[in-house]
Amino acid sequence: MMRDASSDSVRNDAATGMDSDTPSAARRDDRRHVLHSWSAHGALAPVVVAGADGAYFRDEDGRRWLDFSSQLVNVNVGHQHPKLIAAIKAQAEALCTIAPYHANAATSEAARLIAEVAPGDLDRVFFTNGGAEAVENAIRMARLHTGRHKVLTAYRSYHGATAGAIAATGEPRRWPSEPGPPGFVKFWGPYPYRSAFHAGSAAEESERALAHLADTVMVEGPHSIAAILLEPVVGANGILVPPDGYLQGVRALCDAHGIVMIADEVMTGFGRCGEWFAVDRWKVVPDLITFAKGVNSGYVPLGGVVMNGAISDGFAERAYPGGLTYSGHPLACAAAVACIGICRDEGLVERARRLGDEVIAPALQAMQARHPSVGEVRGLGAFWAIELVRDRATREPLVPFNASGSDDAPMVEFAAACKRQGLWPFVVSNRMHIAPPLTIDEPALRDGLSIVDEALHVADRYCAG
Ligand SMILES: Cc1ncc(COP(=O)(O)O)c(C=O)c1O
């Protein structure tokens, strides 16, 4: 299980020692011809996936994996949902593709449904192929709307791998792409467990993080700031749930200075947090929301920006200076229509909240009580993190920041222990993230949590005392 030392991406290779002696054509061609995301191709041994169903996928050797990561936190309705497959097939029969200057039924309906579930007056959608392009376009819109250029983003954030989105990103995956485009300024967001503000409570963390953000705005010059772009619940960098009041404070700061508030809900949107959008939990209405992943559970690539009237009005007479050959792609949009329908019909948003409150939270709290390596558990809906430490008193992380090689061994061993029991984990830095499909049945969820509980003994061995 090796990975590019410069990346902090999910450990996504097999490391089970189960590779068969004679490689299949899929494995052989992959090894010879594919360069995978965030990986050194000479070091990767990917699982060759042959099929999937619900909360499980299976490899070409017939091994079944319980997907506790929804792949990259996108397969919200589970694998191979029959209604989603049927919708894609029907759309393929009717109209596979069409240029974005035409209208078509799938794109129109997807936009209407997204506007219906989006908060406040956000009711017009620009479609992209994924999350990074959504972020690029949201930044462009904010700059055009305000006539300003700076964008404030948080340390410990991920916004995508294209030029602007990676410059906006506040973690090590940005480093190899530096120097980036100008105009991106970083601030610290709230993280009560490792407060940058020496806060003693969630309320203090919120207050001090807001004061720090207000100071950053002041010294950067509010007249030059187009947008504050943030993940309402930080995803890949730790499932950091903001203390109550923080997002409301960011909204107020943006209002006070005419700054566009962009909520990057690429990972958190469409039910993951037990709300349609994470901002709903705090009743905050941003000016722009970026989305992707859960909008159609990743069955066909899709992302976008949903915007309020003040911003979309700016493009009523003047042309929006951005576009994509596949903006509003009918197959992807038909999948979004079906996916939003499934979420509604199966009550998946409420289900995520209930699974979080009634199954995941109590199980993780019990693990914290049992295992000295568990420093903190946190999350909401079907979106949780277990943060592992060497020492609970000092909170020293189980592995150092951006660890690689032997420094990373404890986490590699922990991930391997999960995999040996057939659980596909989302392990990043010194954390395991728990983000199963929202459709996972309760026995499977409980089984998976038991596997994690057992695997934590591996992490405990590295603890002080
Ligand atoms: C919050 C957030 N924004 C943007 C992105 C980038 O999305 P994509 O990989 O679809 O470009 C991600 C991907 O994980 C994300 O989590």
What pLDDT is recorded for position 426? 97
260 pLDDT higher than 70: yes
d(CA 170, CA 168): 6
Residue 75 amino acid letter: V
What pLDDT is recorded for position 437? 99
Q: If pLDDT is split at 50, 70 and 90, which confidence band does 383 have?
A: very high
| Ligand 1 touching residue 131 (CB < 6 A) | yes
What pLDDT is recorded for position 333? 99
Among candidates 97, 94, 133, 87, which has minimal Cα distance to 293?
133
Render pLDDT for 44-73 as a digit per residue (tens, 0 to 9).
999 999 999 999 999 999 999 999 999 999
Render pLDDT for 354-381 as a digit per residue (tens, 0 to 9).
999 999 999 999 999 999 999 999 999 9
In 199-255, beta strands by DSSP E: 225-230
15 pLDDT higher than 60: no
Residues 33-40: contacts with CB under 8 Å, at least 24 apart = 36/12, 37/9, 37/161, 38/3, 38/4, 38/7, 38/9, 38/173, 39/3, 39/4, 39/7, 39/9, 39/12, 39/13, 40/2, 40/3, 40/4
Phi, psi of 210 (to 5 degrees): -70, -40
Among candidates 409, 414, 391, which has minimal Cα distance to 399?
409
Q: Ligand 1, closest atom to CA 236?
A: 16
CB 413 within 8 A of CB 465: no
pTM: 0.96
DSSP 8-state symbol, 386: E
Strand partners, 387: 376, 431
Count how many residues are written for the chain. Answer: 465
Q: Ligand 1, closest atom to CA 264?
A: 1
Render pLDDT for 420-444 as a digit per residue (tens, 0 to 9).
999 999 999 999 999 999 999 999 9
| Ligand 1 touching residue 371 (CB < 6 A) | no
Strand partners, 30: none
| Ligand 1 touching residue 158 (CB < 6 A) | yes
Angle between helices 361-370 and 442-460 (to 10 degrees): 20
d(CA 255, CA 245): 15
404 pLDDT higher than 50: yes
What is the dihedral angle through the alpha carbons of 42, 167, 411, 33, rounded to the nearest 10 degrees? -20
Residue to substitute in 133, 158, 240, 262 for testing ligand 1 pocket (most ligand atoms within 8 angstroms of CB): 158
**Cα 158 to ligand 1 centroid, rounded to whole Å:** 7
Write out the two tokens for 371.
């295992």
3-state secondary structure at position 234? strand
